[in-house]
Structure 1
Amino acid sequence: MTAASGKVASPRAAGEKPGGENQSVARALAILDLLAGQPEPLGVREIARRLRLAPSIAQRLIKTLANAGYLEQTDATLRYMIGYKAFHVGSSFVGQSSLHSAVMPELYVLAEQEISGFLGVRRDRSVVYLATVQSAGPVAVNHRPGAQTYLHSTAMGKALLAELSDDEVRMLLAHKPLPKLTERTKVALPQLIAELATVRRLGYATSDQENRQGFFSVGAVVRDVSGAAIAVISGAVPTAGLKQPDRTRIAQLVLSAARNASRKLGAPAARVTAAR
């Protein structure tokens, strides 16, 4: 009962956070998000430390997720990694998407040209990888589906940013300094925004050792029936021995892949062929 009104306050459900969010569910999802981004399995105490949870709470949540198949425990170290059930859930999202059906053949075409192909979408201030097709080239450029990367340093990210106005880009990226990943990474917003004007003119973006030393990539957006950019295709190759004609050829192949996927999705012809 409140002193001011004399009314009985509604008791909040056990484990419910302000705004109707369930604390236990939120913590379990945080564990899944953490492990999804790790190259190696983690132990209970390390998971608890990173998420600032009591080890006993982390243990209960992890055991529940493991029993349901969303986490698996390694035999050698007894640490935990993402389980088959989580993969099943993620795969169902991709499998239900006409985007996936339109893009995957194009990624395989790129791979046949020794270009590793990627499909991604923007989520808030990051690019999320949805699919990867590794080329037969000597150097692997691999990103797991669900992994995230930066907007400002990747060809995928810059192609997506070019779909926004300059003011929208500033609002999206000006909240904190942009990380400098290599000596070539553009971290000044005016410099990045100037480059986006070129991206809009050409219809594709490039990243020349700006996200990862020794790799060149090209990104171009995929459009749906309304003409809106709903995803991005990129192709990446090692820079060793790469000449300017090679860069031009890769750009045209990636742009063609994005246009082909867009046509399959019913994008208006004018939006498929014309740069902004």
Structure 2
Amino acid sequence: MTNDRPRPVKTTKTSLALVRAVYDDDGATLSELADRLDLAKSTVHNHLHTLVDEGFLVRDEDTYHVGLEFLPFGEHARERNPQYATARRRVHTLAERSGHEADFIVEEHGRAYSLEYAIGESNHRGLSESGPFRAGNRFHMHNCASGKAMLASMSDSRVRDIIDRWGLPATTDRTITDESTLYDELEAVQRRGYAINDEELIDGYRSVGASVMSPDGEVVGAFSIGGPTYRLGIDESTTEEIGQVLLDEVGSLESELF
């Protein structure tokens, strides 16, 4: 009996791993990449040469960076999302209304991707103060408010698939890494209608998120409002206020889209 199941192409996976490593490190040398991926320098050199030749990487002296050839691909992937144009306006409305940072996040392959990000007036230096937040960022689902909001709206089997694939890695000492604790948290999200991230993703950063649903019960994405801990309290009255702002915006978006 023949096995028709597709097999991963090792050379393709190596090239992609190199691109991800260059991106994650904001630039890397050949030696650094070879050490990080435990590959021969000759192998890394051949992959890097090909990626530079195709425009997906650029070389600045001995350091490689992600090239602009990726830009149209990312823009196309973002704009093909049918909810993006409407959600983009809503994100800026949320940032203006709350004065904090706001974003719209969607799930793909069990990870959370930020499609739009905006900074409110009271948090105009949010990028430098809250960490590397921007459109295009990728997160695990279990340690950000939008991710937890989407998980709480998914079927148990889908949540299980995501946990099995990506696990529950810790990014701070507050990250939920225990499955039972996560499921309890998701039940709490379902009861109140929104999720809370209290320094679970990045130290010194908090956020509140709520999922957007289609009429047939599918998760479309999620909005979140966040900011540095010294500007965004996590007391009950604050989270309820922000949660209601999010739920109002979610309701408006769902009405406009569907």
In structure 1, what residue type is equivalent to 2:243? A
In structure 2, what residue type is equivalent to 1:55? K
In structure 1, what residue type is equivalent to 2:72? H
1:236 to 220, 226, 229: 226
- Structure 2 residue runs without a partner (length 5+): none
Would the alpha carbon gap of residues 158 and 133 (structure 1) be closer, same or farther in structure 2, given more than 3 Å must change? same
Would the alpha carbon gap of residues 91 and 184 (structure 1) be closer, same or farther in structure 2, given more than 3 Å must change? same
Would the alpha carbon gap of residues 82 and 213 (structure 1) be closer, same or farther in structure 2, given more than 3 Å must change? same
- Structure 1 residue runs without a partner (length 5+): 1-17, 267-276
1:104 to 61, 76, 88: 88
Would the alpha carbon gap of residues 219 and 83 (structure 1) be closer, same or farther in structure 2, given more than 3 Å must change? same
1:249 correspondence with 2:241: yes
Q: What is the distance in 1 between the residues matched to 2:43 and 2:161?
A: 38
1:215 correspondence with 2:201: no
**Scaled by the length of structure 2, what TM-score is found?**
0.82
1:272 is aligned to: none
2:102 is aligned to: 117
Q: What is the distance in 2 between the residues matched to 1:176 and 1:78?
A: 33
Give deviations 1:114-134, integer Å, cap 9, x for gaps.
Answer: 221122223344323333223
2:67 is aligned to: 83
Give deviations 1:71-128, integer Å, cap 9, x for gaps.
Answer: 1223xx5311111111221111112222211211111112213221122223344323
Q: What is the distance in 1 between the residues matched to 2:237 and 2:119?
A: 22
- Higher helix content, 1 or 2: 2
Greater displacement, 18-27 / 40-49 = 18-27
Q: What is the distance in 2 between the residues matched to 1:22 and 1:205?
A: 39
Q: What is the distance in 2 between the residues matched to 1:200 and 1:129?
A: 22
Identity of paired residues, percent?
Answer: 26
Would the alpha carbon gap of residues 124 and 214 (structure 1) be closer, same or farther in structure 2, given more than 3 Å must change? same
Question: The residue matched to 1:98 in structure 2 has which SS?
Answer: coil
In structure 2, what residue type is equivalent to 1:209? E
Which of the pair has more CA radius of gyration?
1
1:29 is aligned to: 16
Contact 2:154 2:219 in 1 (8 A): no
Q: What is the distance in 2 between the residues matched to 1:20 and 1:211?
A: 34
For the aligned residues, what is the CA RMSD?
2.6
1:49 to 35, 51, 55: 35
In structure 2, what residue type is equivalent to 1:132? Y
Alpha-carbon deviation of 1:174? Answer: 6.0
Give deviations 1:153-201, integer Å, cap 9, x for gaps.
Answer: 2111211111234465355436787344444333332222122122112
Give the paired residue count. 246
Would the alpha carbon gap of residues 171 and 223 (structure 1) be closer, same or farther in structure 2, given more than 3 Å must change? closer
1:7 is aligned to: none
Would the alpha carbon gap of residues 181 and 69 (structure 1) be closer, same or farther in structure 2, given more than 3 Å must change? closer
Contact 1:208 1:217 in 2 (8 A): yes
Question: The residue matched to 2:52 in structure 1 has which SS?
Answer: helix
